[in-house]
């Protein structure tokens, strides 16, 4: 009997393993679905601080967290959405500034950040109009 070298995971199997980014998004979504806004007093400020940061990875993580908060609560009943309406008022001017900065720059994360902001606007539209 001969021993073979173990092969690395094949490409289809690698797709089954979630990336750390998608796993973190799932965690934020699940927590926001259950705990937002009652237990998120400091977390919303932390998201705002990340969006105001100068580094792209911090801004991207803030955008991803904000997207998960809106998506977790976009189809809730009216009483549950009141806190999300406050987030719209608080974050949309900041998102507008970020979008203007992105449009004037050329970075490798430019498209990802624009995509995240568009998804936030889309989810918030469901919050406002529903």
State the 10-residue block means of pLDDT for the chain, 130 residues long: 56 60 83 80 86 91 92 73 80 92 86 92 70
pLDDT at position 88, please? 86
pLDDT at position 28, please? 85
pTM of the model: 0.78
pLDDT at position 130, please? 47
User: Which sequence spans correspond to the domains of the chain?
Assistant: 21-129
Contacting residues for 59 by C-beta, under 8 A, at least 6 apart:
50, 51, 53, 98, 113
Long-range contacts of 84-87 (CB under 8 A, 24+ apart): 84/124, 84/127, 85/127, 85/128, 87/44, 87/124
Q: What is the pLDDT of residues 70-105, one digit of tens each?
A: 888 877 666 667 777 888 888 999 999 999 998 888
């Amino acid at each position: 009997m001969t021993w073979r070298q173990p092969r690395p995971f094949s490409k289809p199997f690698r797709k089954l393993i979630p990336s750390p980014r998608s796993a973190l998004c799932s965690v934020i979504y699940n927590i926001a679905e259950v705990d937002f806004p009652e237990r998120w007093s400091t977390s919303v400020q932390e998201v705002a601080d990340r969006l105001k940061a100068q580094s792209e990875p911090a801004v991207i993580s803030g955008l991803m967290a904000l997207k998960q908060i809106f998506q977790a609560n976009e189809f809730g009943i009216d009483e549950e959405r009141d806190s999300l309406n406050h987030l719209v008022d608080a974050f949309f001017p900041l998102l507008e500034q970020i979008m203007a900065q992105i449009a004037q720059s050329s970075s490798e994360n430019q498209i990802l950040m624009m995509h995240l902001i568009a998804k936030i606007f889309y989810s918030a539209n469901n919050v406002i109009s529903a």
